[in-house]
Amino acid sequence: MDKQITNITILLIEQNAGNARLIEGLLQGSDDFDIEISWASRLDDGIRLAQSKSFQVCLLDLTMKEHEGYEALSILTSHCPALSVIALTENIQASDIRRMYLIGAKDILVKNKLNTTDLLRSIYSTKLSSIKCIEDSNIVHAMSNQFRGILANAKASVDMIRKGSVGDLNKYQIDLCDVALHNMNKINALASDFVEYTDLVKGSVNFVKREEDIVKTIKETLAVIRSDAEKKNLRLYFDENVSNAMVLYDRDSIVKLLLHLLHNSITFTEQGDIVVSCSIKDKQVIIQIQDTGIGIAESDLQSIFEPFTLIQLTDEYKRKQGSGLGLAISKKIAQLHGGDLQISSKIRVGTTYTLTLPFKGS
């Protein structure tokens, strides 16, 4: 077999030394694979190892006392989003499966039922999936670069015509050029969003996460976009329920998420208020953005986070719609931070975005 397939580097994060030796023994029971295992008994040590060395698969014990269950998985995937994680648990309920996969687990195995065949099958399929993800991501990047290069040339030609380089234009011809340039900009944005969404789904985005005050970041984000709200005479408020809240997050990606939600609220609100709030409940930081805009139909809410979902809008607002990937990207960013993004809305009443992130302290 191809060495790329049979050579496997594994990070084992297992609190119990006896269990670690048992798992190592199971993995050494096959002559078909060349397996290198690094063991860490604590989650923090495992994260440091993952950040200093390249591992193809991680076996993560979800029964550690320091970080039990979802928390350990969430912390690991937050720090190491590109790492393929197989969760090891003592028991599993049907309700746990969906949440573990959403947080980032590639597979889930029950520890007291482990055997060499099932363990190697899970590791092997996870590695193959990871290789395919990398190949798919590389193809998407290459296609996007080619596409944007062609688009840039076409845009430059239309722009020259728009500026009268080939002769004077009448108003109708100028308007046609403006429409063409507008659509080209949307296509370019779509290409960028598609690459970003693909990278997020494939787990190939390297977040730089630090434990920082999310309240400060919210205020700075509001300062950036406040002028857009003022141009439409909209009132933009921050309801500061807490003075500070420490969260482990990649600042650039969370700012981008917040800006996208705020941009949506400003774009689809003609009068009234946009209120941003931050609170803490059940070890979660809850950030809400509430507007008095046109609202979203209940039928559209069911698929609002699906890629390329475009809601039903009047002609007045259709031109303002984005690529259909913004909310899908935003939700994925939230999930890769161990949180979530939800939307509630009513037509002609307004929309509320609710972002939750794990709380680290005040």
Query: Nearest Cα to 197, choosing from 141, 264, 131, 132?
Result: 141
Q: Average of pLDDT values for 135-162? A: 82
Q: Are residues 151 and 120 in the same domain?
A: no
Q: Where is average pLDDT lowest: 22-31, 74-83, 90-99, 318-327? A: 318-327
Instruction: Look up the CATH number of the domain holding residue 271.
Output: 3.30.565.10
pLDDT at 34: 78
> What is the model's pLDDT at position 1?
44
Predicted model pTM: 0.66
Contact 261, 289 (CB under 8 A): yes
How far, in Å, CA of 40 to CA of 7, rounded? 20
Structural domain including 122 reads 3-132
Q: Would you say the C-alpha torsion 347, 349, 350, 354 has a positive or negative sign?
A: negative
Q: Which pLDDT score is estimated for 302?
A: 81
Q: Are 362 and 245 in contact (CB under 8 A)?
A: yes
Torsional class of 164: left (φ above 0), alpha (ψ -120 to 50), beta (otherwise): left
Same domain, 14 and 107: yes
- CA-CA distance, 19 to 15, in Å (whole number)? 8
Pair (169, 237) in one structural domain: no
Q: Are residues 218 and 352 in the same domain?
A: yes
- How many Cβ atoms are within 10 Å of 264's Cβ, its own excluded? 22
Q: Does 179 share its domain with 237?
A: no
Q: What is the domain count for the chain?
A: 3
Model confidence over 89-118: pLDDT tens digits? 887 777 778 778 777 788 888 888 888 888
- Identify the domain boundary among 84, 117, 132: 132
Instruction: Give the relative orientation of helices 214-231 and 251-267 as an angle to the nearest 10 degrees.
Output: 30
Asked if 288 and 250 sit in the same domain, the reply is yes
Cα-trace Rg, the chain: 24
What pLDDT digit, counting tens, does each position of 70-81 carry?
Answer: 778 888 877 777
3-class SS of residue 23 = helix
Q: What is the CATH classification number for the domain harbouring 21?
A: 3.40.50.2300
Whether 197 and 284 map to the same domain: the answer is no
In a shared domain, residues 9 and 119: yes
Q: Are residues 185 and 291 in the same domain?
A: no
Q: Is 14 exposed, middle or buried (0-12, 13-18, 19+ CB in 10 A)?
A: buried
Q: 3-class SS at 97?
A: helix
Q: Could you tell me the pLDDT band of residue 25, with boundaries at 50, 70 and 90?
A: confident
Same domain membership, residue 223 and residue 86: no
Mean pLDDT along residues 278-293: 93
